[in-house]
Amino acid sequence: MGGHCLLIRFAGLNLSNCEGCGDDELEAVLPQLKWLTRLDLGGTQVTLASLLILPPRLNWLSLNYCPHVNDASLAGLAHLRDLSTLNLSNCPITGDGLHELPALPNLKKLLLNYCRNLTDAGLSRMLILSIVKTVRVGGCPLISKKMRRDLLGPIVLKHMY
């Protein structure tokens, strides 16, 4: 039995801050991890190419501190129908791509802390269409006090940090 056979049944994998972990490396490994439900790619060099081949069973995904994950990249998550928690903290997103997230019917928790370019407009487009219950936007200087108040108002959120 080769080493790759053991990878197939992993449910969780933490590759955060893995130097040299980018699209080529993930393309070699991810297709073998069909049972993967938790994946931490924080601080890696992943791009849209890697997001498109993520295992569809994922229910927890961290992309925090990924410098190439931007608004355009978010469309690459649409096939992750079981995803319930998504961490995009410290990614260079403005919110223009957040309207893609409602395609994720089970998304309940969205972490956007320290997304320094995230705007009220970008966040509100996603919230109008979404079933997300918890959004964290701490350290997002372009999110207004009014938006923070509105998030806790009649919009569907149960928690906002």
The rounded percent of the chain whose pLDDT value lies above 70 is: 86
150 vs 78 pLDDT, higher one: 78
Residue 7 clears pLDDT 70, i.e. is over it: no
pTM: 0.88
Identify the band that residue 112 occupies on the pLDDT scale cut at 50, 70 and 90.
Answer: very high
CATH for the 3-160 domain, from 3.30.428.10, 3.40.1160.10, 3.80.10.10, 3.40.1170.10: 3.80.10.10
CA angle 33, 47, 72 (to 5 degrees): 120
Give CB contacts under 8 A, 24+ apart, made by 14-18.
14/40, 15/39, 15/40, 15/41, 15/44, 16/40, 16/41, 16/42, 16/43, 16/44, 16/62, 17/42, 17/43, 17/44, 17/65, 18/43, 18/44
Q: Where are the domains of the chain?
A: 3-160
